[in-house]
Amino acid sequence: MQEQGVKSRAPIVLINWTNEEGARFWPFLGSSIVYAGQSTVEEAHASLTHDGSGVKMGDELRKIGYVGDGPNTFEEFPISAHFEIHVEQADSLEKAGKPVGWVTGWQGMTWYSVNLKGEDGHANTYPMYGRRDAIVGAAKIITELESLAYAKNGYTTLTNIRSGPWGACNIQSNVRLAFCLMHKETPGLESMGQEIEAKVKGIAALHGLEFEMTRDVHLPPGDFWPEAIDCVKRACGDKGMGAITGTGHDSTMTTTLVPTGMVFVRAKGGWSHTAKEWSDKEDCMEGALALGKAVLNFDELLKTKSA
């Protein structure tokens, strides 16, 4: 834009959000939820790793000199709009022969953590009758999750499991599960949540297990701002098409504050979160152009509003 002598009404800021995916630290959207006022810097720094080691995100950020001094929230650093570029993580663009797309909204998502506690015992000598085997209960919950997805026309995924005590001859008395539920409609998502909560309670009772269950994240399905979608749509032109995202993004936090839109870039085979994930260089170029044009389209809209 500088090379082309582009003059925008509003300053253009580039943001690289920390811990969007929650790959190592939980919860995901680790910094955009702070910006949106749904969490705090202190809570973000206290985020723990999935491996149960007790390592905190704040400590790891300090090790590499990545703890700043703000601003961290919308109130401290307000923006007028937010536009994000992302690989599609699906194959609708590829099937349609389109390099880019505009995102209209997202499907609903809920994440749960379940801790099951049974009783220690020797794996070889303890009688089968009367065992309080936490991992047997966990296995039944996992199979219920798969059945639930098909029954409710939604999606479910077990994303993390830890069990103990470690050893070759130990009944597993402590198990932690983390899983997510997804549905394109709010009633469907709520129904899935109610059913799995009841299943967990029943399975725990059947096997004499103590349990704790928390709903860590709940994001109902929704749509991005129409004016932001239109800016992206016009930027994509005939090279794009509309799409819905199947997961959460930092944009699902900023859209609670300001007009927000997303640009999708075609993914080869729809692969994502795997070494197979790939977007061709030419498609990435089209995505970058669409992002820039969408931002400038909104900048023009700001000029119109202020006139």
For 183-222, what is each residue's pLDDT tens digit? 999 999 999 999 999 999 999 999 999 999 999 999 999 9
Q: Tell me what the mean pLDDT of segment 59-75 comes to.
A: 94
Q: Tell me what the mean pLDDT of segment 174-190 comes to.
A: 97
Torsion of CA 287, 290, 296, 302, to 10 degrees: -100
Are 80-107+221-307 and 108-219 the same fold in CATH? Answer: no
Chain segment 87-107, per-residue pLDDT in tens: 999 999 999 999 999 999 999
Q: What 8-state DSSP symbol labels residue 19?
A: T
What are the residue ranges spanned by the domains of the chain? Answer: 15-78, 80-107+221-307, 108-219
CA distance 31 to 74: 12
Q: Return the CATH number of the domain spanning residue range 108-219.
A: 3.30.70.360
307 has pLDDT over 80: no
CA distance 88 to 92: 8
Q: 153 pairs with which residues across the strands? A: none
Q: What 8-state DSSP symbol labels residue 148?
A: H
CA distance 96 to 111: 32
**What percentage of the chain reaches a pLDDT higher than 90?**
93
CATH 3.40.50.920 fits 80-107+221-307, yes or no: no
Chain segment 231-250, per-residue pLDDT in tens: 999 999 999 999 999 999 99
Nearest to 219 by CA among 17, 25, 36: 36
Give backbone dihedrals phi and psi of 172, rounded to 5 degrees, phi first. Answer: -80, 110
Q: Tell me what the mean pLDDT of segment 96-124 comes to.
A: 97
Classify the C-alpha dihedral 275-276-282-286 as positive or negative: negative
**Higher pLDDT pick, 307 / 5:** 5
Chain segment 19-40, per-residue pLDDT in tens: 999 999 998 999 999 999 999 9
Q: How confident is the model at residue 70 (pLDDT cuts 50, 70, 90)?
A: confident
Both tokens of 137, joined, read: 């209960």
Q: 254 pairs with which residues across the strands? A: none
Chain segment 138-155, per-residue pLDDT in tens: 999 999 999 999 999 999
Residues contacting residue 273 through CB under 8 Å, at least 6 positions apart: 21, 89
